[in-house]
């Protein structure tokens, strides 16, 4: 609520109000989703919450499969389905975290194989999207799941082998973008220009910022972009600082820290359900993954990814509620 209030105040003090008022219809879905998820997910029991996560993962696997197929049919240079590849990859990153941390009843061979298949499809979608940051984060989540024993080594080996095979075949069918990446491995995607612009503007308006959604009006070097479609900072910390000043950035960081701490204590204190522990690991891996993507992509002002973020918060709230309710019953 503090973060949202600061965004509204930033509109009032915006240098370009006609652009800033767009947040009232382009970002409103995040706030509506936030309160809806926080309220309604608490009303479901653990069995229904598990089914909701299965649906969440299953849809992501379908989206990933569509992206991989389109990539292999040479319809796109980077795997994507119904949204641009950056949104596609970040969305899959969140679902990948849950796929490898949830227990699909691994004693049941069929369900164990389903988990391996879903994880393979989603990870293949991430890799063929050719997002270097998201791919690196997905690999870190994969390794962390092995370290914390949320995924056994045998399943991990099979997932890695199948994903490597699918990716190798895909990159041999569609070579355009991967060849470009190999020939120019340090390509910065115009980020050097963004950093140059940030250095120029950093002390201009540190209190209120320039106002939300004012990148086009304020960025000092638009003619230096190779990609003329660049419409934002591709970094949430830059975005919030230049749009809402230090109050907006500090409130955002406070929100992220609070969520990480809440998830940590959920995992540490939970005694009611292994499912809640697994969910807690999925949430914290997702939060950390999204936070790491903010340095090159960003999600908090993104229409789709901000709703995914709201879903994670609602899931955390529901899991916390189930845990505290269980502890109260035990005390009674």
What pLDDT sits at residue 51? 94
* Shared domain check, 167 and 283: no
Q: Is the pLDDT of residue 325 over 90?
A: no
What pLDDT sits at residue 108? 66
Q: Is the pLDDT of residue 13 over 60?
A: yes
- 4: containing domain: 1-43+191-332
* Shared domain check, 166 and 77: yes
* Shared domain check, 79 and 34: no
* Shared domain check, 296 and 220: yes
Q: Is the pLDDT of residue 328 over 60?
A: no
Using alpha carbons only, give the angle 40, 46, 49 rounded to the nearest 5 degrees: 55
* Shared domain check, 137 and 49: yes
Task: Show which of 189, 207, 227 is a domain's final residue.
Answer: 189
Task: Show which of 189, 217, 250 is a domain's final residue.
Answer: 189
* Range 39-49 average pLDDT: 94
pTM: 0.91
What total number of domains does the chain contain?
2
Task: Report the C-alpha gap between 157 and 155 in whole angstroms.
Answer: 5
Task: Show which of 172, 189, 206 is a domain's final residue.
Answer: 189
Look at the block and give the residue holding tokens 């189930």: 322
Report the sign of the C-alpha dihedral through residues 327, 328, 329, 332, in that order.
positive
pLDDT one-digit tens code per residue, 141-175? 999 999 999 999 999 999 999 999 999 999 999 98
What pLDDT sits at residue 237? 94
As a whole number of angstroms, the longest Cα–Cα distance in the chain is 67
Task: Report the C-alpha gap between 294 and 289 in whole angstroms.
Answer: 9
* Helix axes 109-128 and 132-147, enclosed angle (nearest 10): 150
What pLDDT sits at residue 332? 47
């Amino acid at each position: 609520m503090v973060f949202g209030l600061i965004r509204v105040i930033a509109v009032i003090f915006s240098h370009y109000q006609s652009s800033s008022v767009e947040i009232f219809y382009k970002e409103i879905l995040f706030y509506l989703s936030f309160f809806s998820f926080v309220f309604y997910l608490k009303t479901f029991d653990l069995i229904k919450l598990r089914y909701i996560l299965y649906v969440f993962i299953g849809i992501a696997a379908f989206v990933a499969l569509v992206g991989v197929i389109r990539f292999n049919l040479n319809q796109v240079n980077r795997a994507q389905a119904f949204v641009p590849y950056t949104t596609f990859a970040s969305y899959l990153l969140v679902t990948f975290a849950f796929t490898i941390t949830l227990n699909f009843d691994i004693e049941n061979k069929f369900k164990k194989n389903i988990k391996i298949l879903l994880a393979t499809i989603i990870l293949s979608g991430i890799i063929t999207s050719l997002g270097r940051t998201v791919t690196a984060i997905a690999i870190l989540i994969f390794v962390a799941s092995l370290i914390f024993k949320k995924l056994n080594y045998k399943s991990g080996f099979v997932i890695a082998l199948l994903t490597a095979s699918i990716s190798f075949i895909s990159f041999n069918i569609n070579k355009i973008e991967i060849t470009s990446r190999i020939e120019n491995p340090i390509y910065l995607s115009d980020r050097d220009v963004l950093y140059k612009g940030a250095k120029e503007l950093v002390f201009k308006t540190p209190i209120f910022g320039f106002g939300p959604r004012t990148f086009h009006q304020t960025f000092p070097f638009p003619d230096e972009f190779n990609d003329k479609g660049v419409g934002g900072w591709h970094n949430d910390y830059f975005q919030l600082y230049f749009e809402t000043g230090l109050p907006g950035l500090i409130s955002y960081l406070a929100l992220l820290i609070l969520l990480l701490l809440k998830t940590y204590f959920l995992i540490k204190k939970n005694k009611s359900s292994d499912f809640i522990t697994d969910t807690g690991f999925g949430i914290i891996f997702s939060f950390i993954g999204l936070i790491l993507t903010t340095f090159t992509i960003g999600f908090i002002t993104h229409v789709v990814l901000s709703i995914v973020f709201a879903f994670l918060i609602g899931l955390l709230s529901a899991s916390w509620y189930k845990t505290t309710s269980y502890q109260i019953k035990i005390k009674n």
